[in-house]
Structure 1
Amino acid sequence: MSDRDCGDITYGYVDPNWPRPNTDDSACIIIYGYVPSLALGILGVALFGIALISHTYLLVRNKTWYFSTVIVGLVMEIIGYAFRLLASQKNPYSVPYFVAQYFCIVVAPVFFSAAIYTILSVLISAVGRKYAPLSPKLILWIFIACDVIATVVQITGAALVGSAYSNQRDPTTANNILLGGLAFQVFSFAVFILCFVLFVYKARKVMSKDLKVFSAVVMIATLAVYLRTCFRLAETAEGLLEYLSTHEAFFGCLEFLPIVVAVHLLNWWHPGRWIEKT
């Protein structure tokens, strides 16, 4: 039996068609702000699963080990959407389900960003250092370090936010920590995009047509990941139980869809297919 006293819930979502289970791991409210969609959970597991199989095959075939962070990110996405499936079918009030899916889905794109950083690094090595604002090694070290810092801050903030809401406490401080991590990530990723654009612009005359097409597609994938990060920043700035976070359509269109587009673009335009091995 649960000893959590929820009292009279005055803020947050409680599904009238889904009574709260009497278990210790169930929050007083549904922290998502809705019961997660079964269809979206299935799509997430299926589409990221297909991408995982394809990326693993291309990774091994082309021996592009620098691109292996995509595999880690895809595994995390699958786990995240699997927990959303569990929440939709077993217990949407479950704090462990919420924390697990939130952690995996929030952190996974960091690994896709790292893969994109390696693409630019390899491109610079293949085309020429003189066209890039930073050396290939600096590209990796600076932006991966920025992502690590941003991710640690986000994980800390997200854990504190989940704990605060599940125990009906003020989440303001925890939300500000999460917001700071996201704001830093948005800023550092914008600087990376600027570096990418400057490199492609300066190297445009010496790049082959294939490399130009490849660079354009990678930029689209990069902007998709960036859109998702900006959405997370806006969602957090508004508040976890506010409009953006409590309507799954925003999650589907601005979290799920951009990342699906990015990983499948990077599947067809895999660097092992388009960049000469260096």
Structure 2
Amino acid sequence: MSDASAPSKYVLWPYTPSIAGGVIGAIVFFSLSGIHIFRLVKNRTWFCIPFVIGALFEAIGYSGRAAAHSDTESTTPYIIQSTLILLAPILFAASIYMILSRIIQRTDSAEYAIVRASWTTKIFVGGDLLCFCVQGGGAGMLIKAKDDAGFKMGENIILGGLILQILIFGFFVAVAAVWHRRLLARPTAAAAELPWARYIWFLYASSGCITVRNLCRVIEYALGKGGYLLSHEWPLYVYDFLPMMLTLVVCIAWYDPNIKPRRKSDIEFATRR
């Protein structure tokens, strides 16, 4: 007779991950990573480095999913894919925050922002780091989980980190929208030197993709391990792979050296008048 009190064996994968899906995901993200790296180095837009790292996180994460196809008992590919795919959008957000700050400075319109341009990066990237730590801690709990209780705790931590990220991102978009409206109403002379409006619409598009992904992830973890989203593979490719791919495609245009402040250093300083 089996011991009813013995804990049930924890199962990493509720399905066998698709090797085709993992390979396609890896190829797409490695290709986009290469394009972003080329643009980064060519234009010396070093503030986009988090974007490149996030793209590589996605590529390696989907490689882990492909590797797990033939061995769903191995923890290594599971750890790689669950951690890197979860955390990559936080790195995308970090570069988006820095891009807005630089556009504000480049257009000499700091007085239009409800948050000082010199603080935009500090506040939002600081919030991003907090989300990174919270979600990373939750991912660590999932990886080390030996039973459903441990998995549930990890889920709840990740869920909290995702909700926090959505709130921070929502405030960021509000800051961008207020500044955008004010600059449209009273354009500065420096704004005429840069196609800033086009970049802002790219910012909204990428922000929308990340927000949709985060909302779907919140639903995923709220439903729990036994929920449809975590127990089936195809939704991940719809609400995570596709939005993140679109984000990387949209943001290729941001590697414009003219976005940098008009000074020799790429380091961000407060606007001095």
Is this a same-fold pair by TM over 0.5?
Answer: yes
Residue 179 of structure 1 pairs with residue 163 of structure 2: no
Q: Please, which of 18, 22, 29 is the counterpart of residue 37 of structure 1?
A: 18
In structure 2, the residue matched to 1:21 is none
Q: What residue in structure 2 maps to residue 24 of structure 1? A: none
Q: Which amino acid aligns with 2:49?
A: S
Q: Deviations over 1:24-77 (max 9, x none)?
A: xxx742x34221122221121111111111111111111111111111111111
CA contact (8 A) 2:40 2:255 kept: no
Distance in 1, Cα, partners of 2:44 & 2:132: 28
Q: TM-score, normalised by structure 1?
A: 0.83
Corresponding residue of 2:132: 151
C-alpha displacement of 1:233: 1.3
Opposite residue 118 of structure 2, the aligned amino acid is: K
Are 1:122 and 2:102 counterparts? yes
Distance 2:77 2:118 in 1: 38
Higher RCO by CA contacts (8 Å cutoff, separation 6 or greater):
2
Task: Classify 1:39/1:274 alpha carbon distance in 2 versus 1 (closer, same or farther; 3 Å).
Answer: farther
Deviation at 1:8, TM superposition (A): 11
CA distance in structure 2 between the aligned counterparts of 1:137 and 1:39, rounded to whole angstroms: 45
Pick aligned residue for 1:63 from 39, 44, 53: 44
Aligned-pair Cα RMSD in Å: 2.5
**Contact 1:28–1:93 (Cα < 8 Å) also in 2:** no
Give, in angstroms, the shift of residue 242 of structure 1.
Answer: 1.3
Partner of 2:116: 135
SS in structure 1 at match of 2:21: helix
Q: Give secondary structure in 2 for the equivalent of 1:266.
A: helix
Per the alignment, residue 81 of structure 1 pairs with 62
Q: What SS is found at the alignment partner of 2:165?
A: helix
The aligned residue for residue 266 of structure 2 is: none
Q: Does 1:98 align with 2:66?
A: no
**Residue ranges of structure 1 left out of the alignment (5+ in a row):** 12-26
CA distance in 2, matches of 1:157, 1:45: 24
Partner residue, 2:245: 260
Work out whether residues 32 and 245 of structure 1, in 8 Å CA contact, stay in contact via their aligned partners in 2.
no
Q: Which of 161, 170, 184 does residue 190 from structure 1 map onto?
A: 170
**1:113 maps onto 2:125 in alignment:** no
Question: How far apart are residue 271 of structure 1 and its match?
Answer: 3.8
The offset of 1:105, in angstroms, is 0.7
The whole-number CA distance in structure 1 between the counterparts of 2:15 and 2:246 is 25
Which residue identity does 1:36 align to in structure 2? P
8 Å Cα contact 1:42/1:85 also seen in 2: yes
Contact kept? 1:49, 1:74, Cα under 8 Å = yes
Question: What letter is aligned with 2:38?
Answer: Y
- Provide Cα deviations, 1:221-274, integer angstroms capped at 9, x if missing partner: 11101111111111111113311112222100101100000011111x224166
Identity value in percent: 25
Superposed, 1:4-19 pairs within 5 Å as none
The aligned residue for residue 256 of structure 2 is: 272
Question: What is the alpha-carbon distance in structure 1 between the residues aligned to residue 155 and residue 218 of structure 2?
Answer: 11
The number of residue pairs the alignment matches comes to: 255
Partner of 1:214: 199
Structure 2: gaps of 5 or more residues: 263-273
Q: Which amino acid aligns with 1:40?
A: G
Would you say the 8 A contact 1:87–1:94 is kept in 2? yes
Match of 2:31 in 1: 50
Contact 1:32 1:241 in 2 (8 A): no
